[in-house]
Amino acid sequence: MSERPLSGVRVLDLTNVLAGPYCSYQLMLLGAEVVKIEVPGQGDLARHLGPDAELNRSGIGASFLAQNAGKKSVELDLKDAAGRAAFEDMVRGADVLLENFRAGVLARLGFGWPRLRELNPRLVYCAISGFGQTGPMSQAPAYDQIIQGLSGMMSITGTEETAPLRIGFPVCDTVGGLTAALHISAALAGRTRTGKGTFLDVSMLESAVSAMGWAVSNYLVSGVPPEPMGTQNATAAPSGTFQAADGPLNIAANRQRQFETLCDLVGRRDLLDDPRFADREQRKAHRDALTGELNRALRRRTAGEWERILGPAGVPAARVVTVPQALGLDQLEHRGFFTELPFPDGSGRVLKVTGGGVLHDGEPLRPTGPPPLLGDQNADRAALADRWNGRAENAVTP
């Protein structure tokens, strides 16, 4: 690829921990130049988060390393006159300003949307918060688990006996970050026509509810509230997790033809003559009985064997694996999903980070460099601002 889609786009990133940094990581992969504005001596809280205590003490915790490759770091105190002046100078040359403070924090520092728009009428200002900048909950603190609970996600995760359960990764942070990246990209595209900037007010709660799809729409349209169903899929049967000889196997035989093929391949064609399993609605009504019959047949082979038998025949099926096993899949390696970078501390260790999940013209988008140490670009800040504002042709380059 000769040029990435967002090449030349300049992003001021004031975000911390995950939703905002995940958003700006996607923008960086797409070609944007991302400069993290960090609190002097502290930086992004994620610098001190992760399972390796030594990395946390060094300010390059695993949580930080995962989402900040390819970015720059400048320390600025927005409560200090010199820091505020430097920040304003950078805003004038930026395309995007991204923050995930609690609603109104940046405005109380003197940088609300009217002031930012005055400094740079072309600026795309994106504020990510738990509940949005307005409304009765706008000032409530929020982390991923808080949003998982308030969105209803936890109430339908697990079984009737175990729900509510937290989803095993910070899905609301991630969805919020993706929502922000999508709308920033759209606002930048729109700006090419209008020449005007945009204020994007991203609510993690609304992003999460939107992402829940049928669990929400079934209630809005039909008045049917979703219930926790464990590993089963409410829309079809057999569709969920089943038991092979050595462990769990996911099968999604959602179409009639797939169900027929499944029965043939597991040696239970007799199930096709059972009126309880005649069509989708009957199979859903008798889900437990069907699951029991299929589990007895599936226990004759391992999950891997069934995966190799069912998939090529058109029945979606795959093993349930651990995270380390997933990261070792040949498919991810083949697609160039991972990039190896040097650790930013000069230790010689190799850092492996993920990509964005999309090939552009057949190529994965990779980080342009390792995550920055806190204040890595402090000495270059003035030259960087000069370049952003077109004041020096030979100022520091990306």
* Sign of torsion over alpha carbons 128, 131, 134, 138: negative
Q: Which of 64, 61, 71, 62 is nearest to 26 (CA)?
A: 71
**Contact predicate 260/272, CB 8 Å:** yes
Q: Is 273 marked active-site?
A: no
Can you spell out the DSSP letters for 110-139?
A: T--HHHHHHH-TT-EEEEEESS-SSSTTTT
Both tokens of 322, joined, read 């651990």
**Contact predicate 223/279, CB 8 Å:** no
Give dist(CA 65, CA 68) in Å, integer: 6
β-pairing verdict for 72-75 and 96-99: unpaired
The residue annotated as part of the active site, out of 173, 264, 361, 376, is 173
Give dist(CA 63, CA 120) in Å, integer: 32
β-pairing verdict for 72-75 and 198-203: unpaired
Can you spell out the DSSP letters for 8-67?
A: T-EEEE---TTHHHHHHHHHHHTT-EEEEEE-TTT--GGGG-SS-HHHHHTT--HHHHHH
**Contact predicate 94/111, CB 8 Å:** no
Strand partners for 97 = 12, 125
Both tokens of 307, joined, read 């995966």
Give dist(CA 11, CA 34) in Å, integer: 5
Give, to the nearest 10 degrees, the angle between helix 144-151 and helix 171-194. 90
Give dist(CA 288, CA 40) in Å, integer: 58
- Which run of H or of E encompasses 294? helix 287-298
Catalytic residues: 173
